Amino acid sequence: MTSTSPPTSPEAQAQATPTTVPGSTGPGGRPWLEPAVLVAVPGLAVTILALLLSIAFGIYSMNTRIDTLGARIDALETSFNARIDTLGARIDALETSFNARIDTLGAGLNARIEQVYQFLLPKER
């Protein structure tokens, strides 16, 4: 064997095999300790935090709008109920007036029918 030939024993092959994963740096192959990763992680964390805060503020804003809308609907409901009650009272008054007119018309019609009936009946002598 020459000094330039590769070792052939298993122990020598184990010593010649690299202990790091290809593409990793540092002792023991820890790619998350690369400088680019160390610089990018805080930016990623800030971005995630900003997104979470944006979602939280959006939910709060929607809840506020829902509460405001609920209050407006309650106010409209109160106004609507008052108007419906007023309309119901007016309809009751109109119904009473209409019934009175129908009764008067019916009585007048009955009186006229009675007069025609009396006119058409033969008179007793």
CA dist 18 and 90 (Å) reads 97
Residue 114 lies in a domain: yes
Residue 66 lies in a domain: yes
Residue 110 lies in a domain: yes
pLDDT of amino acid 40: 79
Residue 8 lies in a domain: no
Tell me if residue 13 falls in helix, strand or coil: helix
AA letter at 15: Q
Model confidence pLDDT, tens digit, residues 66-86: 999 999 999 999 999 999 999
pLDDT of amino acid 34: 76
Per-residue b or e along 96-105, where b marks 16 or more CB atoms closer than 10 Å to that residue's CB: eeeeeeeeee
Residue 28 lies in a domain: no
Model confidence pLDDT, tens digit, residues 82-103: 999 999 999 999 999 999 999 9
How many structural domains comprise the chain?
1
Q: Which domain holds residue 113?
A: 33-120
Residue 53 lies in a domain: yes
pLDDT of amino acid 20: 47
pTM (2 d.p.): 0.42
pLDDT of amino acid 112: 93
Model confidence pLDDT, tens digit, residues 8-60: 665 655 555 555 444 555 556 666 667 777 777 888 889 999 999 999 999 99
Answer yes or no: are the C-beta atoms of 26 and 37 closer than 8 Å.
no
pLDDT of amino acid 14: 54
pLDDT of amino acid 6: 56
